[in-house]
Structure 1
Amino acid sequence: MFSQLALLLAVALPSLARPINDTLLDEYDYIIVGGGASGLTVANRLTEDSSVTVLILEAGPSDQNEEWIRVPYFMGNDPSPPAEALSGHLDYDWNFGTEEQTSLDGATRHYPLGRGIGGGTLINGFLWNRGNAGDYDEWETLGNDGWNWDNMLQYFEKNEKFATDVTASDASGYSIPATDSSVHGTSGPVNVSFQGYFYPATQNVYAALNELGVPTDSSDPNNGQSAGNSFLPMSMDPTSKTRSDARRALYDPVASRDNLYISNGQFVTKLNIENVVQPANEASVRTTSRGQGDHPGLKLNSLVNVLSKNVNIFNLMPVGSLKDLFGLRKVKRSPPRPMPKREKKEKRALPNVRITGVEYGTDAGATRQNITARREVILAAGAIHTPLLLQLSGIGDESFLSSMNVTTAVDLPGVGNNYQDHFQIATYAPYGNESFPVCESYGADSVADVSNRNEFYSSQTGPWTAGAPNGVAFPSLKSMTTNYSTIASSAQGQTSGQYLADNLDDTVIAGYEKQKALLVANLQNENRSQLEILNDNAGHLTYSVMRPFGRGQVRIRSRNPFDTPVIDPRYGSNPIDLQFFMEALRFNSRLQATDAMAELQPSESYPTAAQVADDAQLMTLIKQGIFTEYHPTGTASMLPLDLGGVVDARLKVYGTQNLRIVDGSVMPMIPAAHLQACIYGVAEKVR
């Protein structure tokens, strides 16, 4: 049996490991910016060759085996954060916020983003799926040879150490199909398995969805064919039932390699480009800035009075109204500079610049350091930081860079554009039938807390082996509403570039139009999911748009790398996305009224039946309630140049000799999935 101490220390660093922040060399073959899932994957594979040297520079800290990170129940949230904390993720969160969402209610949104060795895998919700085969086939259709599902499958498998560890009774009761061994790996670095506790209300939710025509998938949810109810596996060790994050999967086991270096607390401020000189650095925003937390962020303690005793899907959702969800700490920040009007210009041949290394520093007040890359610099900083670093270095839209007093090295208008995210809205219908166990928040019942902790550490069973999401659904629009054809026709009727941001380059608009044609076709396909439904077994269901029509932007606010970024998802900018939510909440009201849900005795509290019946009220509620599902992508898209691309099919940045990007920013269209497995797969494919 595992003791509590043994369980948390079982993943300690190997005794012969090179210490993190060991003395650095003057140069390396490869410098990787970012130590999350993609960066650690690439570093692990590169250092299999002992003749090359690799350095990872990560801005965030090393975790300390905190219980709330390791134990699935907490889902990466400290249950008792300090009063001044912006989120339950503490130092492992960048604590960003969006710009005011003018197509919604004019408010900003909190924007959690993983930070640290392991990145988002330290604090995510564990869920493991890849999306539909068509998601990747469409990447190839957009001009990326070799990125179809059949080709990607080998890289998904290479990353996994999959274990089916559910009893026959649980598999039958919760519709967990037999594992399809042809689509899973069993010797990869990342442990993938199933939770050790199941909430029976899941069965009612599945049955209710079946009543309304959403099928339960009878095949493996990771075979690329799912479009219905699925019980997803998790990034979890099958024995200890603890989180299998990127650090423990990909760095700790190889930390003793002589050719692998990692330094954290290092913020990369610029790519050094041969023969390109940037103007002198602007003054710091504040001398203590670490590029973190200057933006508005969600104050968890401001929600205490509106949270019920029940935990919810992300430990963040109020149960009565969402009006306080975005009670953001206000800070003074300069408004984003408007995108300059683009003049028609003759297309020029791209340069072929060489990246000589990177500049970095611990914070805004520190002396900048430089280090050399002999072969390549590899960006794995994520869909927010990667485009910022490109822009700061002179790679991006020339008109915008000029307006920011940045010397252009490579004119790539796609940098920071084509931003996509899964965004969602929460509903609440608490169960009146108290015979059904619910997932309660830590501290709601101290006796249960002690019992659950003991059960977890003594036998690796009980509620602490599971997060709140317990069974999900990925329904097609066609299975949820009869209005799917009308919505598809409205989307198809939109003119070129309609509802996109102003002053975009023609190539970026052309790339979106290619994507939109694929999105429209999917709306009438019963095998392609348009929404996700997450169930927390406490009365909350969230509805997330999987294939949004809207596109946002990520930009630097100033030339200061420690200034807060301009993150503008432009939620609701395309009215088609708002229509998806209208249909989702109408569907939710019908779901609560099914025979299967009657046993739970749900009380339709948010939205109410009256709000659902009034289109104006419902739209107002939607515009107030939308928030992120934490899946930013697309800001350095893998597309042809004439479609606004930033990287080619080898993930090399156009116009450069030796710069590649391996994170979620390269995804030209967002998969209908939780993204960790997808990002691991992309990184495994890089060669």
Structure 2
Amino acid sequence: MGSRVFSISLATILTTAWAAPAETAERFGYANILQRGTQVRDAYDYIIAGAGTAGLTLADRLTADGKYSVLVIEYCYPSSNGRNFLDPGISYNISSIPQVDMNNREQQVRIGCCVGGSSAINGMVFVRGTKPEYDGWAELGGTKSTWDWNGVLPYFKKASHFNPPDEVLAKNFNITWDPEVWGQDPDTHIYASYPNYEEPVMIPFYNAAAKMPKMPIPKDGAGGKSGLFWFPTSMDNQKYWRSYSRTGHYDNIKRDNYDVITMHKVKKILFDGTTATGVQFSPRDTNQTLTARARKEVIISAGTVHTPQILQNSGIGPKDLLTQAKIPILIELPGVGQNFQDHAYLAVNYQWGNGSGPIGPNITQTGNPSSIAGPNLGAWIGLPTMTDDFEKIASRYEAQDPAQYLPKNTHPTVIAGYKAFQKLHAKLLRSTNSNWLWLPIFGQPGGIVMSMHVVSHGTINIDPANPDAEPIVDYRALSNPIDLDIMVENIRYMRKFMNSSAFAASRPTETGPGINVEGNELKEWIKSVLIPTNFHPIATAAKKPKEMGGVVDEELRVHGTKGLRIVDGSIMPTLPGANTQQSVYMIAEKVSLLTC
């Protein structure tokens, strides 16, 4: 079989094909999409703003038994064919404002713009994070929260159908799994699968990672534990096509009670007092005003970037911002658009000094390398596994004034929420079972190192001068110096890995930034190359008490309202130490039972 090569330079990381072969057009022949606003009925039981990962999952579940009618309103295009995340045709064209602590560089904000949302263009990495990270969701939610690990695991299992790896493949590559933490519900068509082939060079890389000091090796990373493990991809195991919210929760579903209209934008929520009664929406390219009424609930599933825009344009958000935008204040919720977080990464580049790396064993395989859709092996580890300096970093962070590195004039409730966040993350910094670093393993020298938790919080708010324009995105990346400290440790860990005796004969040489770059010089290099997003934005409508800057309660109802929920990644109060795809599916599955 031929070799599949993965590039590791910053310029080419994003062009790496972390996507399965695109589906053919016939795959989408049965979609039932309304063509015009005049086809929308006067009233539905539920109206969902956004046909993305969460929106389609929720709509499918709510309409399955025929009891409820659902309208999904989507701003973007009806079809996507499950392409990769560099496809400009199905992505929003948004950039952040210049990032002061990244040498004033801007950052593209890449989110899916199609039916299926970001699940149509993501890297297909299907992981969850660890038990303490979800227990933290419950801790930030207050007493009697059901969003701890035990409370979310059943919905993780419901959200995907697990396909074990081929037996020979599993034996050759030491792929282990725990069927107790996965689901195989026949009514669930989001598939978690492995390729039917792996590159033999992955074996010496696995062995080198396994021998790293203190490296945990769980039976299955989906069981809430950190360490070195093989993980599945979101694809089916028959044709090796991308499995995403459209293929799993919309295609081939024909229901009289399930309508989707595309190319229309939800402008704001309509209220009777503080009870949501419907939505105002418009065709994408005109100012025509349309309305639809919701008999039971309006659900915003527009994603972390656009959910705060809908809320703020509806008069729900920070008082000063709404006043500046001349939007009448319905409910003052200072946390709307605040607490913004995302995973951050960069590449540490290496080359083999002798011109070639280790060679894997000669093993028999009957699969096809083209079934590989991404990095199915990685180390997800805690700060104590990475460095003996974890206590110094945790103590420095713990000693900070909670308001010190937040935006000026941050509301006291948002500061109170950050104080609780700070307390939680000081514990996570000291935990071996909290994922602070993801080290994807490709079978190539060097690669990316990713910070799976950040303590710098950004904002996503409307432009007061033009509230209907794309929101103003500010990652505020590296505004808290602790994030720099952690990224330094990430780089040092990569250096330890490449210094493994398993690679000694190949003489790995660091070409960027260079093995001698340390101290302040290393931090300046980080500022010049850091990517502050792995396209996993969260927390702009965080699930926390209102007095802690929260936007939704434990059942994801917007504080101070009736008949209005938010169901998307914006409700996550803190990042899971994993790609967010599985978590968003889980959220939608959990809430579907609350709404019925």
TM over 0.5: yes
Find the counterpart in structure 2 of residue 661 from structure 1.
Answer: 566
Matches within 5 A, 1:86-235: 88-144=86-142, 145-168=145-168, 170-187=169-186, 188-225=188-225, 227-235=226-234
- Percentage identity across aligned positions? 32
- 1:491-530 matches, within 5 Å, as 491-530=397-436
The structure 2 residue matched to 1:571, chosen from 472, 477, 493, is 477
Q: Pick closer, same or farther for the CA change 1:149–1:610 going to 2, 3 Å.
A: same
Which residue of structure 1 aligns with residue 35 of structure 2? 21
- C-alpha RMSD over aligned residues: 2.3
Moved more, 194-203 or 46-55: 194-203
Q: Which amino acid aligns with 2:321?
A: F
Corresponding letter in the other structure for 1:619: K
Question: Does the Cα contact within 8 Å between 1:271 and 1:390 map onto a contact in 2?
Answer: yes
Q: Is the 8 A contact 2:97 2:472 kept in 1?
A: yes
Out of 50, 60, 68, the position equivalent to 2:66 is 50
Query: Is 1:429 the counterpart of 2:350 in the alignment?
Result: yes
Aligned to 2:312, the other structure's residue is in SS state helix
Counterpart contact for 1:174–1:231, Cα < 8 Å: no
Structure 1, 521-530 or 627-636: larger mean CA deviation? 521-530
Summarize the alignment of residues 445-594 of structure 1 with structure 2, pairs less than 5 Å apart: 461-558=367-464, 560-594=466-500
Q: Distance in 2 between matches of 1:50 and 1:228?
A: 44
Give the aligned residue type for 2:251: D
Q: Is 2:127–2:221's contact at 8 Å kept on the other side of the alignment?
A: yes
TM-score by length of 1: 0.78
CA 362–222 in structure 1, closer or farther in 2 if over 3 Å, else same:
same
Residue equivalent to 1:369: 290
Tell me which amino acid in the other structure corresponds to 2:378. V
Give the aligned residue type for 2:220. Answer: D
* 1:389-409 Cα deviation digits (max 9, x unpaired): 111111001122111211111
In structure 2, how many angstroms separate the alpha carbons of the residues matched to 1:19 and 1:498?
A: 49
Q: Which residue of 1 aligns with 2:523?
A: 619
The 1:492–1:162 alpha-carbon spacing in structure 2 relative to 1, beyond 3 Å, is same
- Partners of 2:568 and 2:584 within 8 A in 1: yes
Deviation track 1:429-464 (CA, whole Å, cap 9, x = no partner) reads 1345547699xxxxxxxxxxxxxxxxxxxx994232
- Are the counterparts in 2 of residues 201 and 600 from structure 1 also a CA contact under 8 Å? no
- Distance in 2, matches of 1:481 and 1:54, equals 51
Looking at structure 2, the residues matched to 98 and 9 of structure 1 have their Cα atoms a distance apart, in angstroms, of: 34
Deviation at 1:376, TM superposition (A): 1.0
2:16 paired residue number:
none
Give the partner amino acid of 1:155: Y
SS of 1:268's partner is strand
Mark the CA change 1:117 to 1:44 in structure 2 (over 3 Å): closer, same or farther. same
Residues in 1 aligned to 2:247 and 2:496: alpha-carbon distance in whole angstroms:
44
Name the structure 1 match of 2:548. 643
Indicate yes or no: 2:525 matched with 1:604. no
The match for 2:4 is none
Letter in 2 for 1:660: R
- CA distance 1:545–1:392, shift in 2 (3 Å): same
Residue 634 of structure 1: which of 539, 555, 562 is its match? 539
Q: Tell me the TM-score normalised to structure 2 length.
A: 0.90
Post-superposition offset of 1:372: 1.6
Contact preservation (8 Å) 1:200, 1:436 = no
- Decide whether aligned partners of structure 1 residues 59 and 214 sit closer, same or farther in structure 2, where only a CA change above 3 A counts: farther
Unmatched 5+ stretches in structure 1: 70-75, 78-87, 276-352, 439-458
Distance 1:462 1:103 in 2: 44
Residues 1:224 and 1:106: Cα distance change in structure 2 (over 3 Å): same
- Aligned AA (1:355): A
Distance 2:267 2:22 in 1: 39
CA contact (8 A) 1:212 1:480 kept: no
What is the aligned counterpart of 1:32 among 48, 56, 67? 48
Residue 212 of structure 1 aligns with an amino acid whose one-letter code is M
**CA–CA distance in 1 between the matches of 2:309 and 2:63?**
28
Whole-Å separation in 1 of the counterparts to 2:527 and 2:201: 29
Q: Which residue of 2 aligns with 1:448?
A: none
How far the C-alpha of 1:427 sits from its partner, in A, is 1.5
Residue 191 of structure 2 contacts residue 236 of structure 2 at CA under 8 Å; is this kept in 1?
A: yes
Shift of 1:6: 12
The answer (yes or no) to whether the contact 1:34–1:56 under 8 Å persists in 2 is yes
Distance 1:209 1:463 in 2: 23
Unaligned stretches of 5+ residues in structure 2: 1-19
Distance in 2 (alpha carbons) for counterparts of 1:64 and 1:658: 31
Distance change (3 Å), C-alpha of 1:221 and 1:271: same
